[in-house]
Amino acid sequence: MGKLTTPAIGNLIYTANAPEVFKVMLEKAKHYFNDGMYNTAMEKIQFLIDRKKVNDIFQFRLNQHSEPNSFTGYKRPNKEKLANVLIAYITKCKSEFNDRLKLNKLLFYSDFLSYKLTGFSITGLSYRAIQYGPVPTYYDNIYAYLENEEIIFSNWIKGKDGSATENFYNTGKL
């Protein structure tokens, strides 16, 4: 039978989860590996470090928090899930109602219902209060990012009263 992990081993495993820390640990233990194994491991670690930097840039631009906490529904922000949730709403709802206000409300209700039912949000976004209710903290950046990635596109529609509404559509790329 296997043994339960001790707190020290558990902390070591948790610490090694950060690629920068794991790189330092691997460098200290270099003499235990042949050159091929060591170089392969270092390349993979560097890939993880580089990927984390790209994700950190995403987190900074699109969300106030990059780590799971009470503001993100104890979920790390995930751009793929965010894109998929928005595309599902854009696809399933009538196109004339796919404006920022409605999509922001749907994101909020989805995340908070998921949090109520499971203890975790879906997207990991943090929200702030504005006049018309809660919205993702950097919602303008979210839509701009998804348009730049050609996941969604927008079209301005003139209302009968002379107002204009920006509606969003699925490009079909996801």
Domain hosting residue 164, numbered range = 79-170
Residues 165 and 83 in one domain: yes
Tell me if 121 is assigned to some domain. Answer: yes
The confidence score (pLDDT) of residue 55 equals: 57
Q: What is the mean pLDDT of residues 28-57?
A: 82
Taking CB atoms within 8 Å and a gap of at least 24, the contacts of 157-162 are 157/96
101 and 152 assigned to the same domain: yes
Does residue 73 sit within a domain?
no
The closest alpha carbon to 78, from 102, 105, 114, belongs to 114
What is the pLDDT, as a whole number, of residue 134?
94
Residue 1 counted as domain residue? no
Burial label for 96, CB within 10 Å (0-12, 13-18, 19+), is exposed
Residues 54 and 94 in one domain: no
Q: Are residues 12 and 39 in the same domain?
A: yes
On whether residue 72 sits in a domain, the answer given is no
pTM: 0.65
**CA–CA dist 12, 32 (Å, integer):** 18
Residues 40 and 89 in one domain: no
Length of the chain: 174
Is residue 159 located within the same domain as residue 99?
Answer: yes
CB 62 within 8 A of CB 71: no
Domains contained in the chain, number: 2
Higher per-residue pLDDT: 7 or 124: 124
Residue 58 and residue 87 in one domain: no
12-16, 68-72, 160-164: segment of lowest average pLDDT: 12-16
Q: Tell me, yes or no, whether 69 lies in a domain.
A: no
48 belongs to a structural domain? yes
Query: Which tens digit of pLDDT belongs to each residue from 79-134?
Result: 889 999 999 999 999 888 899 999 999 999 999 999 999 999 999 999 999 998 99
Dihedral angle sign, alpha carbons of residues 98, 123, 46, 54: positive
98: tokens are 């796919």
* 124 belongs to a structural domain: yes
